[in-house]
Structure 1
Amino acid sequence: MSSLLYEKQIVIVDDDEIFLKLLKRILEASRFFVYPVSSTELLFEYIKNNHQIISLIIIDVFLPHDQFKKLIEVLKKDPDTKYIPIIAITGKKDGEQSKILSSGYDQEIEDFIFKPINPNEIILRCSRLIKLRDTFFSLKDKIEGSNKLINILEKKLKDITVIYNNIQLEYKKQKNSFEEKEEYFYSIAHDIKSPLNNITLGIDLYLLDAVNLNSNDHENLLEIKNTAIRISAMLQDFLSKVKDEKIGEILNFQWVHPSSILEILLREFYPEANQKELIMTLEMDENLSNVYWDQGQILRVFSNIIDNAIKFSPQNEMILIRFKQKKEHSTITIEDNGPGISEHEKEKVFDLFYQTNLNEKKSGFGIGLSFCKKMIEKHGGSIQIQNKENQKGTRVVVELPNNPSELFKV
């Protein structure tokens, strides 16, 4: 017997041996596997180990000793058999038909068939109930599977919520800690400025009165004064950058022509570049359109980048500023011929207070590029640092949307 037949097994309960054989032959002819039993005791014994493969039970209503009613009650209360459909078979008896039907449906019997049996009718009803049972269990499995999935998702969601809350808490701690450190550094920088000014002023006064000071001491004092001035300038740069960070939290967007920004930058850095005999070259598209930027903050961004390019470029080299514009965005590239930046430092240079090995030899606190990245991202743009193809020099590529208000509300 094939497994398909066992999956559609029908159990018949009737004390009439002749009827059992007749009904068994009818159903087996339609490829049902039939297991006949003549008593409720035999039925329970068989169900105990085989309830998983039973698709339908056919029961004679008039079993001896009123066993039908007790049998139905047991089958429908047992979780292993409560979902197995039942067909009750009975002979037509005057005055009892309505009583049988009423009591049968009260006992949750799925269908009734009256003797004499019509083979086509019982095959049709058995097939219909088995299909309904299969559909029910298919839906039941899907619902249980969905419930398990929902439980898993709910657990995952709770786990994610806990992780998210922990991240939020850690972020707040880090943010508070960072703000405290920033405030601390700002306070120290501000406090150091006054003693440095007093040192330079004191040296100037001393040099005015020190007529008999030998040349060696005079040079030492001037070196101390210049060092104090340089440190003071570094502190001023630090304070300005922190101030820029605070101011930059509120942006003042307005329509501006790119040429006005480029003109200001060239005019500002020409003297410094000229002092190092650097050539600043500008390449830009014709017919540039207005852009919707915060001009003040964008000027600070490119001032930082150009200042770095000048700072790290050897004498008699070239700095190239290129401005390309498309319909949606503009690309600004600044190239120098300095020593370049190592691969592992390309991302770190945007961290606040980070300085490359080269930068440590120059004046500065490692704030500029961090500010640049933050401000460019506030404009909906991006910044990349690349080494040039010949491995000599650095290329900074900035992409900015021409109108950030189309990307987000400003």
Structure 2
Amino acid sequence: MKEQAGVRVKMTLLTTGFVFILLVLTMSASNAIIIFAIRHGWISAEPGAHLKPFLFQSGIISIVIGTTISFFISHFPLRPLHTLIDAIHEVSAGNYDVKIHLEHPKEFQKLSECFNQMTEELAGIEMFRSDFINNFSHEFKTPIVSILGFAKLLKSQKLDACQSREYLDIIIEESRRLSELSATVLNLSKVESLTLLTDKTDFSLSEQIREAILLLESKWSKKQIDFDIDMKEVMIRANEPLLKQVWMNLLDNAVKFSPEKGCIAVALHLENGHAVFTVKDQGAGMDETIQKYIFDKFYQGDTSHNMEGNGLGLPLVKRILELHKGEVAVRSRAGEGSVFVVRVLVDGK
């Protein structure tokens, strides 16, 4: 507020100073005309001299001079505004690469910095929007094409029972994948539309996390993964079904990216009124670029799409925790696995 008030005061002083300078220049020009006319004998400086015609003419000349001076002087303080207006037109046309560099006064310099930051954010949003559409199309198109292709093979060719079962299994698996993707998209859309968290209950957070681990047993037992569990008993007031999705997604990712016969470390403790949950895997890890975008919709570090997933789990985790006034962070280095850390208030306020 103080900074905004200071800007308003400076702009007022700038405008007042401009008007004052304009008046001084106009009066000086008018006086110069009168003195010039007196010296050349065009008018008499004696008392009672007939001055009305000349004063009328000099007044018109003064107005013309003042208007001309104001036109040229106003061009300089308004130049930054014209630059800004031109840049805004460029942005409205979809050019987010435009940058402005205003150095004087200080307020215009800060304005240009804010404008450039805005265009960078818009460029990032536009790139994300484009990637979102491409990834969304890919994730839906791939199983549909697969289902259509194998269905045509089943219809058009004489296949033995073994091949038919194989193709049917593929169709069933792709249908399951498409169904899960649709359900996840709808779930994420529903969660993102929430502004107020309701249906809070008191429950054991440590017990909920243990249940999530057991629900994923078919996946981690298949890879012979061990768990190193260090969880304190923590009670929490929260939306139980939503929070369960957080642990399911994080633990499922840990299992997915861990190697066979690997180990996943899970910990839970209280810290300053927050439940702090950590899950550490022994996977391939992530570089800084992947970590930067890992919570964006449809973003996948594995661009080859060899790893099963749709890039919606972590955005869902982030949004659910935001509704609980919590947060999630990741620490990772390529080749050293990843650690996800969740902090969430236990009192539900």
From 339, 345, 348, give the equivalent of 1:395: 339
Contact kept in structure 1, 2:285 and 2:337, CA below 8 Å = yes
Distance 1:303 1:204, change over 3 A: farther
Shift of the 376–200 alpha-carbon distance from structure 1 to 2, 3 Å rule, reads: same
Counterpart contact for 1:199–1:228, Cα < 8 Å: no
Deviations 1:339-390 (A, max 9, x none): 11112211111111111136721122211112212222222122111127x9
Aligned counterparts of 2:341 and 2:6: Cα–Cα separation in 1: 51
When residues 194 and 365 of structure 1 are mapped into structure 2, their CA distance, relative to the original with a 3 A threshold, is: closer
The 5-angstrom pairing of residues 33-182 of structure 1 reads 150-152=8-10
Which residue does 2:300 correspond to in 1? 355
Partner of 1:65: none
Structure 2 residue aligned with 1:237: 180
Q: 1:279 to 1:206 in 2, by over 3 A?
A: farther
Aligned to 1:273, the other structure's residue is in SS state: helix
8 Å CA contact 2:277–2:342 kept in 1: the answer is yes
Structure 2 CA distance for aligned equivalents of residues 363 and 323 of structure 1: 28
Residue 185 (structure 1) shift? 5.1
* Structure-1 separation of matches of 2:11 and 2:182: 50
Are the aligned partners of 1:386 and 1:395 in contact in 2 as well (CA < 8 Å)?
A: yes
How far the C-alpha of 1:153 sits from its partner, in A, is: 5.8
Distance 1:339 1:194, change over 3 A: closer
* Preserved contact between residue 147 and residue 174 of structure 2 (Cα < 8 Å): no
SS at match of 2:328: strand
Q: Please state whether the residue corresponding to 1:333 is helix, strand or coil.
A: strand
Which residue of structure 2 lines up, in the alignment, with residue 273 of structure 1?
A: 220
What CA distance in whole angstroms lies between the structure 2 residues aligned with 1:293 and 1:151?
49
Does the CA contact (< 8 Å) of 1:196 and 1:232 recur in 2? no
Contact map agreement 1:196 1:229 (CA 8 A) in 2: no
Do the aligned residues in 1 keep the contact of 2:254 with 2:264 (CA within 8 Å)?
Answer: yes
Counterpart of 1:291 in 2: which secondary structure? strand
User: What is the CA-CA distance between 1:393 and the residue it aligns to?
Assistant: 1.5
Do the aligned partners of residues 256 and 359 (structure 1) sit closer, same or farther apart at CA in structure 2, a change above 3 Å counting?
Answer: farther
Q: Residues 184-211 of structure 1: CA distance to partner in whole angstroms, max 9, x if unpaired? A: 959x94x99788667767777899xx5x
CA displacement at 1:268 relative to structure 2? 0.7
Question: Using the alignment, how far apart are the partners of 2:313 and 2:144 within structure 1?
Answer: 24
| Structure 2: distance between partners of 1:148 and 1:399 | 40
User: For structure 1, which runs of at least 5 residues remain unmatched after alignment?
Assistant: 1-146, 406-410
Question: Residues 330 and 205 (structure 1 numbering): CA distance in 2 closer, same or farther, change over 3 Å?
Answer: same
Residue 303 and residue 261 in structure 1: after superposition, are their counterparts in 2 closer, same or farther (change >3 A)? same
More strand by share: 1
Residues 17-68 of structure 1: CA distance to partner in whole angstroms, max 9, x if unpaired?
xxxxxxxxxxxxxxxxxxxxxxxxxxxxxxxxxxxxxxxxxxxxxxxxxxxx
Residues 391, 202 of structure 1: alpha-carbon distance in 2 compared, 3 angstrom cutoff: closer
* 1:329–1:153 Cα change, 3 Å: farther
1:15-34 map, 5 Å: none
Describe the shift of the 1:378–1:196 C-alpha distance in structure 2 as closer, same or farther (beyond 3 A).
same
Quick check: 2:223–2:260 contact (8 Å CA) kept in 1? yes
Paired letter, 1:335 = K
CA–CA separation in structure 1 for the residues paired with 2:300 and 2:6: 53
User: Any conservation in 2 of the 1:280–1:321 contact (CA below 8 Å)?
Assistant: yes
Residue of structure 2 in register with 1:45 after alignment: none
CA distance in structure 1 between the aligned counterparts of 2:142 and 2:239, rounded to whole angstroms: 33
Gaps of 5+ in 2: 15-106
Taking the aligned partners of 1:327 and 1:224, their CA distance within structure 2 comes to 55
Distance in 1 (alpha carbons) for counterparts of 2:6 and 2:239: 53
Q: Percent identity?
A: 19
Q: Deviations over 1:295-351 (max 9, x none)?
A: 111111221111111111111111121111134101100111111111221111111
Per the alignment, in what secondary structure is the counterpart of residue 215 of structure 2? Answer: helix
Q: Indicate yes or no: 2:170 matched with 1:312.
A: no
Decide whether the 8 Å contact of 2:237 with 2:348 is kept in 1: yes
Q: TM-score, normalised by structure 1?
A: 0.48
Q: Distance in 2 between matches of 1:153 and 1:292?
A: 52
Report the Cα distance in structure 1 between the residues aligned to 2:258 and 2:273, rounded to whole angstroms.
Answer: 33
Residues 226/234 of structure 1: CA separation in 2 closer, same or farther (3 Å cut): same
The reply on whether 1:378 has 2:236 as its aligned counterpart is no
How many correspondences in the alignment? 243
Report the 3-state secondary structure (helix = DSSP H, G, I; strand = E; otherwise coil) of the residue aligned with 1:346.
Answer: helix
Contact kept? 2:331, 2:340, Cα under 8 Å: yes
User: Are 1:338 and 1:394, in contact at CA under 8 Å, matched by a contact in 2?
Assistant: yes
1:85 alignment partner in structure 2: none
Residues 194-242 of structure 1 deviation map (CA, whole Å, 9 limit, x = unaligned): 88667767777899xx5xx469xx54x5554444344333322321221
TM-score, length-scaled by structure 2: 0.56
CA distance in 1, matches of 2:241, 2:306: 29
- In our comparison, the structure showing a higher alpha carbon Rg is 1
Q: Deviations over 1:72-126 (max 9, x none)?
A: xxxxxxxxxxxxxxxxxxxxxxxxxxxxxxxxxxxxxxxxxxxxxxxxxxxxxxx
